[in-house]
Structures are given as structure tokens and as C-alpha cells.
Amino acid sequence: MKKYIVTFFSLLLLISCSDDKYEKMNVDPKNPSSVPAEYLFTSASKELMDQVTNLNVNTNIFRFVSQYLTATTYTQEPNYNLTDRNIPESHFLLLYRNVLIDLKDAEEFTRANNQLLEESEVNARLAQIQVLQVYTWQYLVDTFGNVPYSEALSTSNTTPMYDDAQIIYEDLINRLIENNNNFGGQGFTSGEDLIFNGEMSKWQKFSNSLLLRLGMRLTESNPELANTAVQAAVSNGVMESNEDNALFQYLSSPPNTNPLWVDLVQSGRNDYVVANTLVDDLNELEDPRRTVYFDDNLASGYEGGIYGASNSYANFTHIGSEFTDPTHPGILMDYAEVEFLLTEAAARGVAGVSNAETHYENAVTASLEYWLGSDADATSYLAQPNVAYSANNWEEVVAQQFWIAMFDNAFQGWYVWRKFDAPEFNLPEVSGNPVPLRFTYPIREQNLNGESYSEAASAIGGDTQQTALFWDVE
């Protein structure tokens, strides 16, 4: 059994309740015949957050791909070599095996034992599970394109077909729209829900904010579906402040610390510095977030390592101390992202969303407030010519600020670059390779699921890093 955050709820919930509906369970509490849904939900939440957050070059290089960080010694990854360490395979397997299967089991356990809870409680738990399922499926699709979906997660089918990515998106959108009415009861509670501590109104906003994210991916590839999704999300209610941020609360002791602490501190290694792509942009803007994003380890100010080169750890700016705290929260989605998505919706005229400039200023202010603890710098920062919203070049301005704000949610930073073709990224120093548009499929899939792999590779236009996803329209 893998090690996860486990609080007293995991078994005591089964044995400490005297209500008749719990006494129907004929289970030896010291030797449970199956893992409780609460444990599976908590486990899957942590595994998902770990994979979104971690910096381990064997499993997650999105902070490289988004050019927030670069390397000191091992330069393969910032030069977009994904194959030496089988990074696509690790990412693929972690999300299927450690997240989606646990969520599937949690869902099945909840449904099978629905007589133990009120109907509203069952629906609320299933709604929470659904949100994380959709989040994970989108994570996979936005990494690879077509992936196993309708035939996935079955122990009897080891060669599942790959579903069309756009059809998966359509289903995910429908799932979240239908999910909106299921948050009225009490779902997984504090100790079981390490994201919102059982606050179902925040889960509902997270669900609709995720729906907004899905919809805005489609503005150029499927405007009609984008409009439907965004309209439903806004109507049902998205995040309204940083108080609504979907954050995972890590603990101070292993194995439940933020993975960044593991990679940056516990490892004792000095493998990363902040990339010049980010440092140069923030220096030019005199961005106040530099004091948090960056460590003040140089007497000469902030200097980013050359992206893709072998950089001396001592000579370039390190990541800020905020990110080396073992309890640093992981970010699944935040209010700043929501406001940037609404900015784009208003600028494109999607679903009747208006006031692009207001949403943009809300987004930038939210990011400053989250990282600095105050919005005191927002007015002067937004007044800068290179920061102020402009209807004439809104895509360039919004993309740069959106990307800066996603520093601690690097996968979304990669999305920003792919969607907007901005901000301007550097070519890696050694290889000169272009920024990947997707990850190639795992070698294991080529070997063990060859027919389905070949059909998927052909369907998307070739299994290469330069094959654009269906929503990545030029």
C-alpha cells in the first residue's frame, strides 16, 4: 500500500459511529476487505497534487517546458529530451494508476455503500470525485491529445482504444454541467478533503471554474461548445476571490510535504536555477513578485540562468524560499487563472462575458495579493505601459501576465504559451529544439498496446512533440 496522508478518519469512520445505518456494515475494522472511499479520495487528491507540483525530472518537467526554471548539470530536459528518462510514461502511468484508478474505486465504493449515507451526502461525495476525475482527464488530454478514455481503467482490457480528444472534451464538459446540482449535501469532510476541508460551496465553484477552463480551451476549435461551457460556468458560479483557490495543504513531515521541498531541500541537490526567460521579463517590468518567486542570493540583483545551458548554481538566481517550505500549498486552480480566462472570454466575446479590462485587472491584482499578501502594488504596476490592458494587443499583454501568474502551476503556463503563442520563449541553448506542443506517447504503449497506439498516432497527425493538439489552432 502506498504511503499517503492518513488521518484518523480512514478507519474510525467505519467503527466509531453508532447510527444504525453504519452498523449494517459487517466488517472487521482491523482487517477491512476493501479500502474505504475516504482513504481513496484523499490518496488520489494527494497523488494528483504531487504530480501537478513536483519538480522531479523523471516525472514532471513542466517548469522547464514553461521556461520558469532551467538546469545546472543535467540539461536534457530543458532541451526537451523527453525520452532518456521516459518522462511521458511516468506522467501517463501516475495519472492513470495512482489517480484515476483510486478515484474510480472511490466512486464504486461510494455507490455500493449508498445505503450508509443520505442521498445528498452520496451525491456530494460523487460530485467531489467527479471534479478530480475531470481535472485529471483534461490533464492527460492536454499533455498527449487522444488518450484511452471510454475503455480505460478496466482490469480485463489491457489494450484500450484511444478516444478522440475533442470527444473526450465534450464528455468532460457535459459531466461538469450535470455535476452542478450535486453539491447540496455534505461530501468528504475535513481530514478527508484536504483541498477545501469539506466546504461544498467552494467545490461547486471549483467545478464551474474547471468548466470555464475547458470551455476557453475551445474558443478557436469549437466556438459553439466553448460558448455553451463558459455560459454554464459563469451562470452557475466560478471562483470569486483568492479565498476560493483550490489549494492542497501539505504537512511539515515526510512523506506528506510539498514535493518541491523534497526536490529542492531534502535531496541536498542544486539542480535548478530560475530561467532567464522569466527573470528578464520580471526585471524589465520591475515586477514586485520577484521578492517571492526569486531568492535574493546574488549581490548584483536577479539574474536568470541561460535556458537550456549548463548553469552554475552559485552564479544565478535560485527559486524563492517560499517554495522550499515543506508546507507550501500546492495549487490545482486559483482565482487569478479564472479572471484571466474571463478576460479572454470578454475579449473574444464568448458567452456574453464583458469588461475584459476589469477582469484583467482583477487577475493581476489577485496574483499580486496571493503572493505578496497585499494588493498595495497593484495600481502602480497596472499603470505601467507594458502591463496596462490594451484592446489593440490584448493577447500579448494578457498572455505575458497570465504566464507570470502561473509560476507555481507550470502546466497552465505551458497552456498559455500554446494557446496564445506568447510570451516569447527562448530556444534551448544546447539543442535549439522548439518548445513541445505535446508529449509523445509512452514507449510502453507502443510495445504493449501497439494497434491502438498506431491508430492514435495516425489520428492526431503523428506522434511527435510538434503535433499540435486539437484546440491549439494557429
Please state the rounded mean pLDDT for residues 351-356: 98
Question: Given a cut of 90, is residue 23 above it in pLDDT?
Answer: no
pTM over 0.85? The answer is: yes
Please state the rounded mean pLDDT for residues 77-84: 96
- Per the prediction, the chain carries an average pLDDT of 93
pLDDT, one tens digit per residue, over 288-299 is 999 999 999 999
Q: What is the pLDDT of residue 17?
A: 37
Question: Given a cut of 60, is residue 13 above it in pLDDT?
Answer: no
Instruction: Give the whole-number percent of the chain exceeding pLDDT 90.
Output: 91
pLDDT, one tens digit per residue, over 191-246 is 999 999 999 999 999 999 999 999 999 999 999 999 999 999 999 999 999 999 99
Please state the rounded mean pLDDT for residues 382-409: 98
Domains contained in the chain, CATH given:
35-67+77-254+329-460 (1.25.40.390)
Q: What is the pLDDT of residue 14?
A: 33
Q: What is the pLDDT of residue 248?
A: 98
pLDDT, one tens digit per residue, over 434-446 is 999 999 999 999 9
Question: Given a cut of 80, is residue 348 above it in pLDDT?
Answer: yes
Residue at grid coordinates 490592458:
389
Please state the rounded mean pLDDT for residues 329-346: 99
**pLDDT band of 12, cuts 50, 70, 90:** very low
**pLDDT band of 34, cuts 50, 70, 90:** low
Q: What is the pLDDT of residue 474?
A: 74
Q: What is the pLDDT of residue 2?
A: 39
Grid cell digits, residue 87: 518522462
